[in-house]
Structure 1
């Protein structure tokens, strides 16, 4: 029997202490990277709710960072209400990240019609007419011109979504101005008499926040974000809507029914 080639062994992910972490590979501040590592331990159950986590000294030695860096990382988790510190007792886990998800990116048509409960919409720019619009022509027959504006969605005092909206100018002229401040784009289109959405499409990709996005969504530079592109085609095959949006990555969830 021939000898089988040996397979390279993978790190033991069950024990994060066995992983060699090189924090210098990223431009993200070291304490932010460390907070992400600790947050994942809470989410995975490695640091279970109700249990005490290692001391600052132990974490500093494990991760080969300064104690001040560990404290900064733990400050972030404390602000997120994932941990609580007790003098003379230690630091304990009190919550899990997934319990804080409150913005679900809908994957079906009905889900696109409703904004999350308690959400408010802020219009950031005045409407402008664009001809031609910077949208993908492969989606269908393009309109002669589109109206464009930018909106920001808020909930619980936090901005969670930033979106650029492009709507066929002829369609846009029939939409009440108040609708742009209270309804999702898909809901606006659905409620418009005489307009039938024949086809709608959504694409989601992952990325990181540049300085402008970080400022508008109030998140750290290079924090994870989700880019979403949505489009809608009417009964005549014309692209009546294109939306390009950005969700902050720490508050979204994507659920897909597989069967």
Structure 2
């Protein structure tokens, strides 16, 4: 397992061994790893080498360090491909996870200047403001606020949104959702975001602004989201 005669660095060999244990399920999310000293004694290597292996796995998202408690197997991140337009509900179901929502509020408000620009409507026109926590197997993944033109998309209720907003728009109203644009930025959680996402204030999050359009080019949705960076990652496939 650890070959000291190999040209491959020992810290890398140890990191790969631990990673394989995690990927095979021999180590599960939340499991505590032995102390650096124990690994060093078991494999007759330096604690610095063990620390390098741990750091590599922390940076790769396989392990997490907890101050004063030790090193643990991290919760695996959900991977979201950036090709194709799907809803959060569709994404979670495709991964075999149970999607859920915790509504903070569901109301109709007059469109602000920012909202009206994104939805191409007049200021003060009615829009749904839907603020909710998006869950996967009851774990908070994102804090999301949707703004939807009430004149264009009528009849929304919490029940409809909870089941599938996009399904309602396409199957019940007969619209075809065509495309979306997203802006993704890394930032840190505000106290409010931290409260709802059950993370620490200042923890890393991904801030996402999205505009979604119907087939005729009409924008029907403007979304502001804060995703947990420790539980969610985005993936894009590119060809030259």
Matches within 5 A, 1:36-185: 45=15, 48-49=18-19, 53-55=35-37, 73=67, 75=69, 77-78=71-72, 82=73, 97=74, 100-101=76-77, 103-112=78-87, 114-116=90-92, 117-132=97-112, 134-135=114-115, 137=117, 139=118, 141-142=120-121, 144-183=125-164, 185=165
Unaligned runs of 5+ residues in structure 2 are 1-8, 22-32, 39-46, 52-64
- Matched-pair contact (CA < 8 Å) for 1:175–1:192: no
TM-score norm. by structure 1 comes to: 0.60
User: Could you say if the C-alpha distance between residues 247 and 15 of structure 1 is closer, same or farther in structure 2, counting changes exceeding 3 Å?
Assistant: farther
In the alignment, what sits opposite 1:214?
194
- Matched-pair contact (CA < 8 Å) for 2:100–2:137: no
Deviation per CA, 1:15-34, whole angstroms, max 9, x where unpaired?
99xxxxxxxxxxxxxxxxxx
User: Could you say if the C-alpha distance between residues 253 and 125 of structure 1 is closer, same or farther in structure 2, counting changes exceeding 3 Å?
Assistant: same
**CA-based RMSD:** 3.6
Please, which moves more after superposition, 160-169 or 187-196? 187-196
Structure with the largest fraction of strand: 2
Aligned residues: 191
In the alignment, what sits opposite 1:31?
none
- Matched-pair contact (CA < 8 Å) for 1:145–1:169: yes
Q: Distance in 2 between matches of 1:211 and 1:131?
A: 26
Q: Distance in 2 between matches of 1:149 and 1:108?
A: 25
